[in-house]
Amino acid sequence: MKKLMRNAVGAIGIDLRLLGMIGALVLLWIIFDLSTGGRFLTPRNLFNLSVQTASVAVMSTGMVFVIVTRHIDLSVGALLGFIAMVMGTLQLNILPEYLGFGHWSIWIITVVVGVLLGTLIGAFQGWVIGYLTVPAFIVTLGGLLIWRGAAWWVTQGQTVAPLDETFRMLGGGVVGTLGDQLSWAVGLAATIGAVVMMVLARRRKSSHGFKVKPLWAEYAMGGIVTALILGYVLVMNAYPLPKGAAKRYAEAQGIEYPADGLFISHGIAIPVIILLVVAIIMTIVAQKTRFGRYVFATGGNPDAAELSGINTRMLTVKVFALMGALTAIAAVIASARLGAVGNDLGVLDELRVIAAAVIGGTALSGGIGTIYGAIIGAVIMQSLQSGMAMVGVDAPLQSIVVGVVLVLAVFIDIIYRRRAGL
Amino acid sequence: MDKQTPLVELKNIELAFGGVKAVNDVSIDLYPGEVVGVLGHNGAGKSTLIKVLSGAYKADAGEIYVNGEKATINNPRDARSYNIETIYQTLALADNLDASSNLFLGREIVNKFGMVDDDSMEAETRKIMKRLNPNFANFKSPVSALSGGQRQSVAITRAVYFNARILIMDEPTAALGPQETEMVAELINQLKAEGIGIFLISHDIHDVMELCDRISVMKNGKLVGTENVADVTDDEILSMIILGKKPS
């Protein structure tokens, strides 16, 4: 039976580590759901969970590249705070002066400036690491202090609020969702896209005369993917807007608000869409571009990469620039979600991001890591935290548990790798 | 042979590391279809000299000529553009990647969208492996999971696949069993017949005497001399290595 299962799993082509992580996540969810009396696995909580995860998950995809190349980035939390502060000031105090308050282009300019700033700062840190050969740990530890201080300086410590209304949509919340119809459309498009990719990959493989998976395995995989995507849309659409927001929505649409309330779906939150797009792009970059291939080759053997003609110094600059850009995107999500930028935005995020990547199977020794792993790692971290908060675990105990889980996860990963002979 | 233009000529190469002259005014050359052994003790400077040619190090002084024309080699990419390929003693493989990723590292096959085409690379790898090492079957695992001989096959395949004209082999048989060593010897003879020039770095005199046409001996960063294999005995070469001169 066990062997049969293993063969089946092997045929479908999911690796065991992924299966293990998903298993751990599901187990976690069930435990929290039981101990909160069914409050954890509700559309509302899952919606909140997905929104809360987005910012850290976006950064963790970049951290995979950083760690795979045997570096580390401790500055992401502080950098997130600094970029968010600059974006907040830009959209609130600077741009309205020239464009007028609430101008439609404010959010676009803000995001573009934020991402450029993040890329530039990341590239600079990467340059110091790659060309001046100061260890990444030191450079980004310095960065942690520098950018946190710089964030304070932008507004002399004042909180910037309220942020531009359109900008706030990027953080989820009541207005920042797709609604039911658009969510279904996105879900369907994603399903079709996934299935088409699978068919094309199979065709390409058999055109080269390679062995392909048995057809039933392909169908099973397609079925699982479809069920996951559409199931997610279903759950998100099952979470209605709260009364007040539904009323405002009805008024805005010119519908009469019925006395017994109105069921208007949240649908998928915009930050989750952003995360999805980032995840797809980063996966393609990791698996299908030369840059991604060189990232992994350099992590596996820097000397070999260098001797193969790869410019590993420039590669370091690019990896950190990418990390900076993703930090800026995370800054957009985090600040838009709160609708304000305070001085403590992003504090300790660097540790959450690194933990997510590491729980997701990224090896600190370099060369190994996956984008999907890091995202699942981020979901596990966030589930742990919000689950324990819901159960009512004391805050100090929460961090103890998270710490233990982090070490345990890496230990299990080491054991797994040893057994698998990797 | 001397009437031909040498495939590659290293002239008066010098390279120092922190005041120590690792290579001191060394000149060697290589003709098409020829195997030149570079011999010497550990630290004699043979690996350093050859790394200047492969682009891993940049010489302080001296010139490199490829096909009689002056060549500028500042990095491994430059060396590859002159069809100079190297099999390093360490193999220089990215252990976490599979055979085809290693074979094409730095020269990936891309499709029309500029995306790395793994399937085509695997198909090519299967094709050339069938010729060079028919027993090789593990195309999916990272090369860390392969045996020493299989890893060597990957490294050799990588050097041969891209139409090398000048091949540098740094201790190619150091980590191999007798059967695999025999395979490498066969390969060297095959490549020789195709007109490829080979620098063979080794400290195994026996190997070198069997495979090479000429031998250049180095000691303490200096060239002791270059001899035709046919004209010298093992003992004479040994004396050049140890004493730094040919016995009179």
Q: What percent of chain B has pLDDT over 90?
A: 52
> Using a CB-CB distance cutoff of 8 angstroms, which residues of chain A are in contact with residue B95?
300-301, 367
Domains held by chain B: number: 2
A11: confidence class by pLDDT, cuts 50, 70, 90: low
Q: Examine the domain organization and report whether B158 and B172 are in the same domain.
A: no
Q: What percent of chain A has pLDDT over 90?
A: 74
B1: confidence class by pLDDT, cuts 50, 70, 90: very low
Residue linked to tokens 């998950």: A57
Higher pLDDT, A298 or A215: A298
**Spatial CA neighbour of A91 closest among A333, A329, A340, A269:** A340
Model pLDDT for residues A258-315, shown as the tens digit of each residue:
877 788 889 999 999 999 999 999 999 999 999 999 999 999 999 999 999 899 999 9
Residues A259/A192, Cβ–Cβ less than 8 Å: no
A4: confidence class by pLDDT, cuts 50, 70, 90: low
Give a yes or no: residue B90 inside a domain. Answer: no
Q: Taking the domains of chain A in order of start, what are their residue ranges?
A: 35-174+269-347+363-372, 177-268
Element housing A99 (H / E)? helix A95-99
Q: Examine the domain organization and report whether B171 and B248 are in the same domain.
A: yes
Closest-CA distance, A200 to chain B, in angstroms, reads 12
Residue in A204, A293, A307 nearest the CB of B116? A293
Q: Examine the domain organization and report whether B40 and B142 are in the same domain.
A: no
Q: Examine the domain organization and report whether B2 and B18 are in the same domain.
A: yes
Residue A311 phi, psi dihedral angles, 5° rounding: -85, 90
pLDDT beyond 50 at B151: yes
B244: confidence class by pLDDT, cuts 50, 70, 90: confident
Closest-CA distance, B229 to chain A, in angstroms, reads 32
Task: Write down the H helix ranges in A238-370.
Answer: 243-253, 270-288, 290-300, 302-307, 312-338, 349-359
Closest-CA distance, B88 to chain A, in angstroms, reads 9
Give a yes or no: residue B91 inside a domain. Answer: no
Give a yes or no: residue B116 inside a domain. Answer: yes
In whole angstroms, what is the distance from residue A225 CA to residue A192 CA? 10
Q: Examine the domain organization and report whether B242 and B228 are in the same domain.
A: yes
Give a yes or no: residue B89 inside a domain. Answer: no
The b-or-e profile of A201-223 (16+ CB within 10 A means b, else e) is: eeebbeeeeeeebeeebbebbee
Residues A199/A221, Cβ–Cβ less than 8 Å: no
Model pLDDT for residues B69-103, shown as the tens digit of each residue:
999 999 999 999 999 999 988 889 999 999 999 99
In whole angstroms, what is the distance from residue A381 CA to residue A362 CA? 15
Q: Examine the domain organization and report whether B191 and B230 are in the same domain.
A: yes
Residues B189/B107, Cβ–Cβ less than 8 Å: no
Query: According to the model, what pLDDT value does residue A337 have?
Result: 94
For range A395-411, the mean pLDDT: 89
CB distance B142–A421 less than 8 Å? no
Task: Write down the H helix ranges in B24-73.
Answer: 46-54
Residues B64/B16, Cβ–Cβ less than 8 Å: no
Q: Examine the domain organization and report whether B23 and B120 are in the same domain.
A: no
pLDDT beyond 70 at A8: no
B163: confidence class by pLDDT, cuts 50, 70, 90: confident
pLDDT beyond 50 at A55: yes
Average pLDDT, chain B: 89
Q: What is the ipTM for the molecules in this complex?
A: 0.88
pLDDT beyond 60 at A1: no
Q: Examine the domain organization and report whether B186 and B78 are in the same domain.
A: yes
Residue in A292, A299, A307 nearest the CB of B92? A307
CB distance A300–B120 less than 8 Å? no
Model pLDDT for residues A306-332, shown as the tens digit of each residue:
999 899 999 999 999 999 999 999 999
In whole angstroms, what is the distance from residue A263 CA to residue A251 CA? 14
Beta-carbon pairs below 8 A across chains A and B = 84
CB distance A300–B96 less than 8 Å? yes
Pick from A127-131, A293-297, B129-133, B212-216: least confident? B129-133
Chain A CB within 8 Å of residue B1 CB: no
In whole angstroms, what is the distance from residue B28 CA to residue B216 CA? 7
Query: According to the model, what pLDDT value does residue A409 have?
Result: 86
Q: Examine the domain organization and report whether B173 and B121 are in the same domain.
A: no
In whole angstroms, what is the distance from residue A360 CA to residue A376 CA? 6
pLDDT beyond 90 at A252: no
Chain A CB within 8 Å of residue B97 CB: yes
Which residues, listed in sequence order, are joined to residue B167 by a DSSP beta bridge? Answer: B85, B198
Q: Examine the domain organization and report whether B61 and B126 are in the same domain.
A: no
Nearest CA in chain B to A298: B94
Task: Write down the H helix ranges in A2-42.
Answer: 2-12, 16-35
- Most confidently modeled of A266-280, A388-402, B223-237? A266-280
pLDDT beyond 90 at A173: no
Q: Domain of B137?
A: 97-162
In whole angstroms, what is the distance from residue A90 CA to residue A46 CA? 33
Structure tokens at A121: 């700062």
Query: According to the model, what pLDDT value does residue B130 have?
Result: 87
Helix A270-288 and helix A43-68, axial crossing angle in degrees, nearest 10: 30
Query: According to the model, what pLDDT value does residue B83 have?
Result: 93
Q: What is the CA radius of gyration of chain B?
A: 18
Closest-CA distance, B115 to chain A, in angstroms, reads 5
Q: Examine the domain organization and report whether B1 and B70 are in the same domain.
A: yes
CB distance B142–A422 less than 8 Å? yes
Model pLDDT for residues B29-77, shown as the tens digit of each residue:
999 999 999 998 888 888 899 999 999 999 999 999 999 999 999 999 9
Residue A261 phi, psi dihedral angles, 5° rounding: 90, 170
Model pLDDT for residues A363-378, shown as the tens digit of each residue:
998 999 999 999 999 9
Q: Is A393 helix (H, G, I), strand (E, B) or coil?
A: coil
Distances A232 to A188, A190, A225, A372, B33 between C-alpha atoms, Å: 11, 12, 11, 17, 65
Give the DSSP letter of residue A162: S
The b-or-e profile of B31-61 (16+ CB within 10 A means b, else e) is: bbbbbbbbbbeeebbbbbbbbbbbbbbebee
Average pLDDT, chain A: 92
* Domain end marker among B162, B186, B216: B162
> Using a CB-CB distance cutoff of 8 angstroms, which residues of chain B are in contact with residue A298?
94
Residues A143/A77, Cβ–Cβ less than 8 Å: no
Query: According to the model, what pLDDT value does residue A6 have?
Result: 62
Cβ-Cβ contacts under 8 Å for A62 (sequence gap 6 or more): A73, A282, A322, A323, A325, A326, A327
Q: Examine the domain organization and report whether B47 and B102 are in the same domain.
A: no
Element housing A137 (H / E)? helix A136-155
Give a yes or no: residue B21 inside a domain. Answer: yes
Task: Write down the H helix ranges in B75-166.
Answer: 76-81, 99-103, 118-132, 148-161
pLDDT beyond 70 at B3: no
CB distance B119–A287 less than 8 Å? no
